[in-house]
Structure 1
Amino acid sequence: EDQLVQLVANREVPSGGLPTDVGCLVQNVGTAAAIFDWIVSNEPLVSRVTTVTGDGIARPMNVRVRLGTTIADVVNFVGGYTERAQHLIVGGPMTGKSITTDRVPVVKATNCILALSVHPSVAEEMPCIRCGDCAAVCPIQLLPQQLFWYACADDEDRLRKQGLTDCIECGCCDLVCPSRISLTANFRIAKARIREMADEKARAERARARFEARTERIERDRLAREEELARQKEQAKLAGPAAIAEILKRRQRTDKDD
């Protein structure tokens, strides 16, 4: 979205912001079609168009799939796997996630099912040579090599300042890295760690707020009890002489009767 806004409207979305912050709204075709079906036909989102492709698919095509249909059924619909199929990815070659079974359902975010004949090889990582190729291809204009060092050092503050949260995990930096460093995976882990730390901080803040509220409530109850005790003591002081006089009168009457 940020790139579309930059290219089409020549407006830069601020870090951590949304296109609406610069007066733009971006909707994909699928969302627009779903809104049309909902408003015009009163039909909820129950299906989506999914691309089924790769050299491990017999007849690659785009199909409209009911949500909840298993990937295995979708692949069978397009002719099944070829003999070369070895690796299954959901979500496309760049940002997709590898899965080990096709007995998983299609959800509203399943835009692509990719079956490959060769399992992507993972080369041994080598030290970063700071060539800058990753920075040259980053569509967000980040500095992946710097983010990588800060991620390895768990430096949350510098990761935030360098714009890690703006990373769209496109995988371009992985493709051009001559050292075969899994930059995107490191960034994904670092972002998850930052979210976890933020959640822990939020939980700590809520616990602190509950503790302070409890302390204030206990203090209010203590002050209320002290005020009530003081009021009772004051009433006792005011009623003291009259009560003593009444006791003396009763004793005098008792003595006379005797």
Structure 2
Amino acid sequence: GPLSEGEGTGDAAMQRQLPRSVAAFSALSEGLLSGLAEAASGVLPSGWQLTPFGSYAQGTCLPVSALDVALVNSGMEAASMDLALAGNAALVEVLASALLSRTRAFALPPATGLPQPSNPGGEALRLLAGDFAAGRECSKHEVALHLGDISTGRLDAILRRLLDVDPRTRAFVMLVKHWAQSRRLAGPASGGSFRWTLLAVFVLQHEGVLLPLRDLGAVEGGHGPRDPGSRMPLRGAALPFAASRLLANSGVCWGAVRMKPKG
């Protein structure tokens, strides 16, 4: 495979499970979003909509990831959110009440405050909800309801397009997130996994594996090379990523992960 296990990582099984777990989470999330939209249609005022963001929107979701969904007013600018936050937060409560009354969702212990999704690791109103769309049922999964604005999900969309250039980069990001979550460094209480996603992307860009953001538009517009391998040349026969470099600020040492060229 494009990613090979480095000595000491212990994540070979996770690498094999990535495609299957992503597909399963995506299918579950689609059902959850359909059910959320159906419940919201009867209780939300005109102009409000549900916008998924976070790992689902990035395509970097792990099986234990919560589905992050923001309640967004399509006409509300980000700059006005601070003024409107207190009043609109009640709508999140209204939506949650509708879900609890119409489905088999269960509320998790309440959190204090409903921040903007610009801080994805922050507290939100959290539920356990099943796939209640079209009468289907499945295992309960955590849903985090946030109050957002029209910019919600834009950075996630950029990251998704960036990682779409080469699937090996997405696998690397997910392995970093898996490492952090397995060591309880990326839970809600510690700020979530978004910072780990950004850290992995930064390292990939620094090493020349991922395109700089300023070059992403040129590739999308057809001005860059069409072959994904030529878009992102790897340095040498194999590009090592020492986890001690990734995690130096955490004081933790991890094994190396190597990305090998295609072919």
Fold shared per TM-score above 0.5: no
Whichever of the two has the greater Rg, that structure is 1
More helix by share: 1
Q: TM-score, normalised by structure 2?
A: 0.26
